[in-house]
Structure 1
Amino acid sequence: MSGTINVFVVSLDTQSERRIDPHITVEQLKNKLELITGVPVANQAISIRTSLEDRSLVATLSEDSRPLGFYGLRDWHVLQVEDTNPSTSLTGQLTDVTQVDKFEISEEEYAKRTDTVLAYKQRHKVGRFAPKDETEKPQAEVNIDVGSRCEVESAEPGLSKRGTVRFVGTTSFGTGEGIWVGVEYDEPMGKNDGSIKGERYFSCRPNYGVFVRPEKVKVGDYPVEEIDLDEEM
């Protein structure tokens, strides 16, 4: 047997993959394993196991003067290190949480402390302690029913833009939040067909649809205006 072999070293607190020279003695191995596992040389009981999945016993390293190759150590065998006197070492204490004193505090006492996450959030106004937006105003109630006849406020004097309400609600377009009213005009004075940016809110002919804020809409008895085709121009 020549060269080094790959093995797993396993103890109560550790597990690692190592390269081992099979020509070294058990005593030399123990000195190396003390640095790896923390188990003192005098306390070590080492056995060879088949694999990490199959912990069948291959051999027990019972004689310190024997080389490892004598015990048939092969690639990917497991060197299992047990501490025969754990009371004299720290073995097992790293994973035994039953020996750790639990710190408990009431909610009232926790709230009084200044070095907690809660105190940090309060000082820096984070999360539920963040200030509310003072400019935020409650949304006004909109009494506009879909299907109602309406007239939309126009910037052009004497121009009436009448139509039918087809949509009332929030949208994914526009700046800010709030309610939008979708109107289907009686005439092609609109800007769309009831859809904006690929999202449809209602359906109408192209250039007959428009979206406006509720304050621009007057609901009432607004019949369709008839156009006198015989009127002299």
Structure 2
Amino acid sequence: MSSTVHVFVISPDTRSERRFDLHLTIEQLKNKLELFTGIPVQNQNILLLNNEKDTEPVTTLNEDSRPIGYYGVQDWQVLKVIDTNPATSLTGQLHDTSGVEKFELSEEAYAQRHDTVLAYKQRNKIGRFAEKDAEPEKPVPAINLPVGSRCEVETSEEGFHKRGTVRFVGPTQFGNGEGTWVGIEYDEPMGKNDGSVQGVQYFSCKPNFGVFVRPDRVQIGDFPVEEIDFDDEEM
């Protein structure tokens, strides 16, 4: 009989396929879940479902000292992680805007800024700012990289793939403001930033999970989160 179980783990902001040892205690499980759900251990309420559409849980994994196997967890069932206090969680802080003061900018103030799309068009003589005798603008190829799409980023190392989610597509202030950049939130900390570059925040993610690449290095598709074998981390 196998001592491990394959399950789907879902939370308010994540969905992944994972493998756990049935002898792992619920307390140890929560420590692992915090790494990829962003929900602190003390805020986790773990429900066991037969599938993601179930409204009634099979049971609740609520005794920290019990092993996973005690609850009869089976392959391809679902562990639904409820955040009991989103205000103190990383994901909750990123999505809760109730305490953020609304920022409004007048047209005059907007026109005076140097970090806007308007300023970018003025500097590069694009659209209505183009010189009258200038050649017509060349059409910009359409980039079909929807924000929120799963993707894989090309690397120079053969057989090594970096997977993540598209979080930003558009012009930036870095790179001389030329061309389109794609902001990726990697599944693992293999990036270079937290979604910001040179003090400008283009999207938000945990440190070292964010990266910006050119569109031709990004492939959109059904790329699930690659399984992490935690066994090698425990001695």
Q: Give the structure-2-normalised TM-score.
A: 0.50
Residue 8 (structure 2) pairs with residue 11 (structure 1) = no
Query: Is the CA contact (8 Å cut-off) linking 1:13 and 1:92 kept in structure 2?
Result: no
Deviation at 1:26, TM superposition (A): 1.4
Counterpart in the other structure of 1:44 = 44
Deviation at 1:68, TM superposition (A): 1.2
Counterpart in the other structure of 2:20 = 20
Match of 2:22, SS state, is: coil
Match of 1:17, SS state, is: strand
In structure 1, give the amino acid aligned to 2:101: D
Change (3 A) 1:84 1:129: closer
Deviation at 1:38, TM superposition (A): 2.6
Change (3 A) 1:63 1:115: closer
Change (3 A) 1:134 1:3: closer
Match of 1:79, SS state, is: strand
Q: Deviations over 1:156-186 (max 9, x none)?
A: xxxxxxxxxxxxxxxxxxxxxxxxxxxxxxx
In structure 2, give the amino acid aligned to 1:35: L
Counterpart in the other structure of 1:197 = none
Deviation at 1:23, TM superposition (A): 2.3
Counterpart in the other structure of 1:35 = 35
- Provide the C-alpha distance between the structure 2 equivalents of 1:127 and 1:76, rounded to a whole number of angstroms: 53
In structure 2, give the amino acid aligned to 1:94: L
Match of 1:75, SS state, is: coil
Counterpart in the other structure of 1:154 = none
Q: Deviations over 1:200-231 (max 9, x none)?
A: xxxxxxxxxxxxxxxxxxxxxxxxxxxxxxxx
- Provide the C-alpha distance between the structure 1 equivalents of 2:59 and 2:106, rounded to a whole number of angstroms: 55
Deviation at 1:81, TM superposition (A): 1.7
Residue 77 (structure 2) pairs with residue 77 (structure 1) = yes
Query: RMSD in angstroms over aligned alpha carbons?
Result: 2.5
- Provide the C-alpha distance between the structure 2 equivalents of 1:101 and 1:6, rounded to a whole number of angstroms: 44
Number of aligned residue pairs: give it.
135
Change (3 A) 1:105 1:69: same
Counterpart in the other structure of 2:115 = 115
Counterpart in the other structure of 1:105 = 105
Counterpart in the other structure of 2:56 = 56
- Provide the C-alpha distance between the structure 2 equivalents of 1:103 and 1:130, rounded to a whole number of angstroms: 31
Deviation at 1:14, TM superposition (A): 2.6
Deviation at 1:43, TM superposition (A): 2.9
Larger helix proportion of the pair: 2
Gapped regions of structure 2 (runs ≥ 5)? 136-235
Q: Which has the larger radius of gyration?
A: 1
Deviation at 1:86, TM superposition (A): 4.0
Counterpart in the other structure of 1:178 = none
If asked which structure has higher relative contact order (CA below 8 Å, sep 6+), I would say: 2
Deviation at 1:128, TM superposition (A): 1.3
Query: Is the CA contact (8 Å cut-off) linking 1:11 and 1:37 kept in structure 2?
Result: yes
% identical aligned pairs: 64
Moved more, 76-85 or 94-103: 94-103
Query: Is the CA contact (8 Å cut-off) linking 2:86 and 2:93 kept in structure 1?
Result: no
Q: Give the structure-1-normalised TM-score.
A: 0.50
1:185-204 to structure 2, matched below 5 A, reads: none
Q: Which stretches of structure 1, 4 residues or longer, exceed 6 Å deviation after superposition?
A: none
Match of 2:128, SS state, is: helix
